Amino acid sequence: MELTPQKRLQLFSGRSHPELAADIAANLGTELADANLVDFASTELRCRFGDSIRGADVFIIQSHAAPVNHAIMEQLIMIDAAKRASAKRITAVCPYYGYARQDRKAEGREPITAKLVTDLLTTAGADRIVAVDLHSNQIQGFFDGPFDHLTAVPVLIEHLRTRVEGDVTVVAADPGRIKLAERYADHLGADLSSVYKRRVKGAVNAVEALGLMGDVKGKCCVLIDEMIDTGGTICAAADLLKQSGATRIYCVASHGVLSGPAVDRLKNSVIDTLVITDTLPVPSDKRMDKLDVVSIAGVVADAIRAVFEDASVSELFGGENQI
């Protein structure tokens, strides 16, 4: 007997960011299947898929939003359930990948937690990982399987094109973001500059902006980083730009973590416009007049479609997703 198997895509979502998952499903022209996630009184979680997924190509979407540990554990449980339900292939879709900043030992006796997260996903049963704008590309090497690294740069640049004007300079928020800033500068036809910063040794979320490489006097500045957590780095950099004569400051980041004092800092900062994507939920209490949120759903949907059809993901970005 010979049978021709039919490929079947099944899309599931955890509960950290259901709005984004629904938008991704809409872009794919499909619906989210029911994962039947339940919280027990003990705070333990349970997942039981509503329909058979035997032989299916399963994509499990979960942004590692706060509480991060809860979001990661929920995704692991869903992956384990899919593996035990005989899914043919399981892809962990992590628009925001948790613990990405802990990708090396900065000091003695520290963990490399970004590696631990990939180990957990592997043990749970993930065959592939999809993530957006990692803190560093080396995280892809922590996973012994295909790791599709997406980037929000195309949608963010498209958003900026209709808004920035005049003499524009793209500014890297720190030297580690210079390559990223170069891409923005190339696409926008702008000059390039960088802020030199120093993290306060032994302190958490403490940073000093020490100097500026480049001339921003009389220019519109586009300040680039990959994420905004407490807002300390970006606000310190913006203050330095304003002191150096910048006329208008746009701040652009893929991930708006916006934890702790971030909202108050940003509201009271010299930043004129803050542009982020919706890789993480932005509740109403974190919204502000200067905030623009750009959808990443189309980018993630295109990548899922390419993976399902065994097509190239890099071609979606012209190879720029690995820079």
Q: Would you name the residues annotated as active-site residues?
A: 197
How far from 66 is each of 51, 83, 150, 176, 258, CA to CA, in Å?
29, 26, 21, 25, 10
- Burial degree of 48 (CB within 10 A; 0-12, 13-18, 19+): exposed
d(CA 67, CA 90): 24
* Helix 113-124 and helix 68-84, axial crossing angle in degrees, nearest 10: 30
Angle, nearest 10°, between helix axes 297-308 and 18-28?
A: 50
Q: Rounded to a whole number, what is the largest CA-CA distance in the chain? A: 76
**Neighbour count for residue 51 (Cβ, 10 Å):** 10
